[in-house]
Amino acid sequence: MSQKLITHSTDLKKLRDDGFEIEIKNAYLLIHSVPYVNSEKEIARGTLVSNLTLAGDVTTRPDSHVMYFIGDHPCNNDGSVITGIRHQSQTQTLAEGIVVNHSFSNKPPEGYKDYYEKVVNYVKIISAPAESINPSVTAKTFKVVESENPNDVFNYLDTNSSRAEISTISSKFDNLKIAIVGLGGTGSYILDLIAKTQVKEIHLFDGDDFLQHNAFRAPGAASVEELNQKPKKVAYLEKIYSKMHKNIISHDYYLTLSNVEELMGMDYVFICIDSGETKKILIGKLIENGVTFIDVGIGVQIIDNSLLGNLRVTSCVKEKNDYVDKRVSFANEGNNDYSQNIQIAELNALNAALAVIKWKKMCHFYHDQENEYNTIYGISVNKLFNDEIVS
């Protein structure tokens, strides 16, 4: 309920977005870690407390200008008490778990229009002496806000979407089950991007070990100790991204005709493998069962001592799949210089970004005016070429 109240209340949301350490408890607003100077001329931190005036699950104009405080009475930088806001000093219990030590009074002529104005005003008065001693101290701690909802897919709140006010648009990813087949360079970057969305589940399929050359084509940086352990790619990546997204499920084996059925319950499948034979099996079954997928590919050659090539993103839906055979190569790419472990992480990242952008268009997160089902990026000419366009 408290996070819902913050999200729905413009003033509380602005306090959180600005980095204030706020908490809602028993219809009171608590602002933790407010710096102040105590009588010993030391910088300490206390908690401001205000009652909340509510209309359902949103705040309304504060009905009181009084603010409570947990801690010693704030002082000037010489240790003398700040008398301008002094109201009453006595320990009292406002509600269960809220025991305050002081109350302050500072009322503007027109009162406070919202809780943002009220909090910022009191913080400015209380923290000014501390800031004069140490300009780096601030009440804007940007402390991590953990999720209160056990059903949330993230371990902490997506404050990025809330700050940008696109939470409703981001909710289009709710309940989606995603599969990434192949967690090499491009597949690992796709995971990096998908893990930052609120999809229900992310399934990883790959039977390879995470080896030294993989570290140069994947996001982040593996340690020597991690590489010496030779973990499975999916296990290594699950460990990293589960710090953020709760529902990352690794499958440390290859998909074949005998187990391809595991993809049939997915909403979207990303295919990021080089084996043409395996790719043909997977794509054939996905088309047969009407499962939406996006296939990615990189073709690189060494010409005149530099690299030349293309990136490809091919998407396929139940209603349109007649072009797949001519856009996706089912030949094994063993003679491609890319498969010889040339270190081109930026191409993997770009290929992944193009694939995820297309996926988000398919989810109606982004507008899609072109409605293309195949895109080629030419490295040397720095251009995107779209085809298989549905008007």
pLDDT at 40: 97
Thinking of the domain 159-389, which architecture would CATH place it in? 3-Layer(aba) Sandwich (3.40)
State how far the Cα of 200 lies from the Cα of 369, in Å rounded to an integer: 27
Task: Provide the residue ranges of all domains of the chain, joining segments of one domain with +.
Answer: 2-133, 159-389
Mapped onto helix, strand or coil, the DSSP state of residue 145 is coil
Beta bridge mates, 104: 67, 86
* Residue matched to tokens 């995470």: 210
246-275 burial code (b ≥16 CB/10 A, e <16): bbbebbbeebeeeebeebeebbbbbbbbbb
Rounded to the nearest 5°, which phi and psi values hold at 263? -85, -10
State how far the Cα of 242 lies from the Cα of 69, in Å rounded to an integer: 38
The distance from CA 149 to its chain's CA centroid, rounded to whole angstroms, is 16
pLDDT at 75: 98
The distance from CA 212 to its chain's CA centroid, rounded to whole angstroms, is 28
Q: Select from 242, 266, 284 the least CA-distant residue to 156.
A: 242
pLDDT at 157: 85
pLDDT at 333: 55
Tell me which residues of the chain have a pLDDT lower than 70: 1, 332-343
Q: Give 167's contacts (C-beta < 8 A, 6+ positions apart).
A: 7, 158, 161
pLDDT at 1: 52
